[in-house]
Structures are given as structure tokens and as C-alpha cells.
Structure 1
Amino acid sequence: MTDEPKPEPPQPIGLDLIAPEMYTPMLRRLSLAAIGIGIVMGLLLALAVPWPIAVVAGVVLGAPTALYALAVQRRRIWLAGTVIRARTIFGSRRLDVAEATGVEILIFPGRLSRIVLRVTAGGARQVVPLAMYTDAGSGRELHILGLRRLADALAASPLAAALAVSDVLVGQLRAEARDAVLEERPLYRAVRSVRSRDSVQPVVLSDRDIAALG
């Protein structure tokens, strides 16, 4: 009797709204420039003040920008099966969507409006960017494969809110697949509805709001 082959683990799919490969070179140059400016300013100040003060001033000038650029490069989000893994500035986080105790869609209105998914499971909470839109009617949306896997992961949860959001993502998938105009895309319609309320604070969509997007 032969052993059945074990199923391969699901391949992780990136859930970053903007692929890190697009901005990593720019952030690397920014880090080097900030470090260079700090060194140059420190050397110049050393001509006029004691060197310990010059060193501190150089660090204060260059370190914050360099550290910020390095931190942004480190942040990543992946989805493998139903498990979201996020790498943060200070560590990493793991959350199983199938065990979610809370699923919400949040909208941050503004000239550049963002719509995100917030998932809570146990004591962990993770935000996944879904799209961002400008006042001019342009924007960027999560890629189709990411939407598909995220919708499947939500559908694996027994939570009613997760199933409702999964349906919204499936609707967004279909709209993106046929290259529909923004007004026909559920995520954009959600953002537009919040903008019409003239709200400046983040808005959590109600069950009725989410049902209306289906």
C-alpha cells in the first residue's frame, strides 16, 4: 500500500495594494540620501562645535527619514489559504480569517480616499487595503488574484459579516474582470457613498451599506 502524497501548502499571495518592487528602489535611495545628508551636516557642524554635538545633530537630521524608509520597506502582507501574515516594523502578525470574530469594511474619506478590510480573530487584528480613489475619479485597486483569495478566505468563515463582505469582493472581482467603469465597481460605490455624507472621520460600513453593494 502506497502512501498518498500530502497536499502542498497554499502558495502565499501578496495583498499589498502597491507592489513593494515598485517603491523599494526609491526608498533605498531615500535612505542613502538621508544618511548622506546626516554625515555631511555632522562634518560641517564639527568645524564649529564640539564633535559629540555634531554627531548628535547629524543623527537627528538623517536618522528619522532613513529609519522611516527602512520601516516602509519591511511592511508586507500575504495570504496563504485562510491565514493572513503581516510583517510589521517590529515583528510579524498571523491571523486566520476562517476563525474571524469580526469583519468590517472601513473607509477613510479625503482627497485620496482609502477603503480597507479589518479582520479581528481572537486578540489579533489586521487591516488589508482594498482600494484607494482620488477625487478626480482615478485610483488603485487590489489585484484580481488577491481579491479572489481574500473572498475565498472570508467565505470559509461562519461569520455572517464575513460572508457578506466576501460577496462584495466577488462583485468587485467581476467588475474588474470585465473592466467596468468605476461607478459599476462596489468598492468605488462604497467610497462615493461615504464622500456624499461629508464625513472627515473613518466610517465603518453598516450591514445595510454592505448589502446595498451586492
Structure 2
Amino acid sequence: MGEAETVSLDLLDRRAVRARARNVAIAAVVVAAALGGIVSLFAGPLGFGVTAAVVAIPLLLLALTESRKTVQLRGHEVVAKALGSRVVDVHEATRFDLFVTDLRGTRTINVLIGGNGKAVSVSLAMYAGTGGRELGIYGLRRLADTLAGNADTRALVLSQLIVAQLQAEARGEAAPNRPLYQLASQAPQGSMAKRLNSDAVARFVAAL
């Protein structure tokens, strides 16, 4: 039996990912230094060091994780790698949720696939204004096919949603007329992570 095909599901290229991680690291140092400086007025150098470490270390670990994070589809398994790795078999998964995050006017729509106590988030598209970035055609196609291999109704709905997205792209539809953009726009502004109701998503897909 041949080795399972591996397809990248990374929405952003490595240069963009590293730039975002670098910005997080810089912000971590700046915020840690500022808060440490305030605390040092009352607690001296020790207070500065403890506060700076408490604030900076988690954010620097987040930056390191983000800089190394990749998501792949390997056969019918979704694999997320960063400091370690998580593997979810899509055909055996029991959780399928769409989430929308809104950060400074940029909305990202993600699908969370989980089972057996593990979950992997795949970013499908990112929009700002009337444009944005979407996962590559081949990655979307393979993900749709893999989701269709799970008998769970929610997985089948997500597969149909992705197929509709690909069809809209093939017709040359502008971003606002594509299903993922329309779903992302339904989440309230300023929402860090808004889960879209599964029944509402199913009705939306049925109406496409």
C-alpha cells in the first residue's frame, strides 16, 4: 500500500506566519516591560523581573508555537504540528464546528474537527473588507472529499459548503458572493471566537 498523500492546509505562507509570530513576540516584550516598570515603582527590581516574566513567557511561547505551526491533510487524517503534533482521523471524528474570529476588522473562518479528546482547527478563509485570502483550491477540494467520508450530517454539510465555495470561485464570484465570506459576515464584530450554530449553517448550505 502506498504512502498516504499529504496536502498542506495552511492558509498563510511561512513568511506571513513568521511575521505574525515576530509581531506577537515584540508586543510581548513591550507589554511585559511596561507592566514590569509600573510594578517596579512599588516592588523594586524584583517586582519588575517577576512581572515581566509572568507576562512575557506565555506570549513568547505563543509566538514560538505560531511560528512553527503547520496543518496538513494526510490521507484522511488532519495533522497539526507545532511544538508537538495532534492527529485527528476525519472519518472517525465526532466534532465539526465552524468558528469565526474578528481581530481588528479581519475575520477568519475556521473549522474545528475533533474526536477522542483531540481537536484540530483548520483556517478556511480570512477576509478584510471585500477581499481576503482563502485556502488553496486543491486543499479545499481534498478536505471536502475527506469530510464526505464521515457519515455525520455535520461533516456532510461542511463538505457541501466547501464544494459550494469552490463552485463560486470557479464562476469568478467576488469574495462577498462566496459562501465562506457570507458566513463569516454573520458573526458579530469584535468576537474573538464565535461558534456558528450547526443548524443555521445547515439551513444556509441548503439554500445555496
1:31-75 Cα offsets, whole Å, 9 max, x none, are 8xx9xxxxxxxxxxxxxxxxxx9xx79x96997776554332211
The alpha-carbon distance between structure 1 residues 66 and 119, as it changes in their structure 2 partners (threshold 3 A), is closer
* 1:207 to 2:199 alignment: yes
TM-score, with normalisation over the residues of structure 2?
0.74
What is the aligned partner in structure 1 of residue 120 from structure 2? 126
What is the aligned partner in structure 2 of residue 145 from structure 1? 138
Partner-residue secondary structure (3-state), 1:16: coil
1:171 to 157, 164, 168: 164
Contact 1:15–1:142 (Cα < 8 Å) also in 2: yes
Q: Percent identity?
A: 32
Contact 2:17–2:66 (Cα < 8 Å) also in 1: no
The alpha-carbon distance between structure 1 residues 26 and 205, as it changes in their structure 2 partners (threshold 3 A), is closer
What is the aligned partner in structure 1 of residue 149 from structure 2? 156
Contact 1:164–1:211 (Cα < 8 Å) also in 2: no
1:79 to 73, 80, 93: 73
Segments of 5+ residues of structure 2 without an aligned counterpart are: 29-45
* Aligned residue pairs, count: 189
5 Å-filtered alignment, 1:1-214, equals 6=1, 8-24=2-18, 68-89=62-83, 91-109=84-102, 111-134=105-128, 136-195=129-188, 200=191, 202-213=194-205, 214=208
The alpha-carbon distance between structure 1 residues 63 and 179, as it changes in their structure 2 partners (threshold 3 A), is same
TM-score, with normalisation over the residues of structure 1?
0.72
